[in-house]
Amino acid sequence: MSAYAIAHLRSVDLNEEIVVYLRKIDASLEPFEGRFLVHGAIPEVIEEPFPGSIVVIEFPNIERARAWYESDAYQEILPLRTENSDSVAIVIDGTAPGYRAESFAERLIAEGVVAG
């Protein structure tokens, strides 16, 4: 099951350090089979204010996503992003093929979180 590294970049100081980060991040992804799904696009905001942009990187699984983030290659360039942006990053599992939101509702009911 695919997993994703997602960053919400609320603001970025576009400077020389960000250029270095951008030039090096692709090589940090390659050993972990990471690939950009969303990067550099301006979002079309359809609900509520949404400052900044989103980056989505797909990995084959959560273990590869974590390993990339913790890798020496990424940790070396990470401060270039964190010191030049107001941002937050997460790694998260995707859903299995055929997933339906209804199954999540059924799990909430079965776990007694909500009444059915």
**Per residue in 42-95, pLDDT tens?**
899 999 999 999 999 999 999 999 999 999 999 999 999 999 999 999 999 999
**Can you give the pLDDT at residue 65?**
98
Q: Which amino acid, one-letter code, is at 70?
A: E
Query: Domain residues for 99?
Result: 3-110
Residue 12 lies in a domain: yes
Give percent of the chain above pLDDT 70: 100
CATH number of residue 23's parent domain: 3.30.70.100
Q: By the 8 A CB rule, do 93 and 39 touch?
A: no
Strand pairing report for 35-38 and 85-93: unpaired
In 1-116, DSSP assigns E strands to: 3-12, 35-38, 53-59, 85-93
Spatial distance between the Cα atoms of 35 and 14, rounded to a whole number of angstroms: 22
Residue 115 lies in a domain: no
**Can you give the pLDDT at residue 30?**
98
**Can you give the pLDDT at residue 116?**
77
Q: By the 8 A CB rule, do 95 and 3 touch?
A: no
Residue 77 lies in a domain: yes
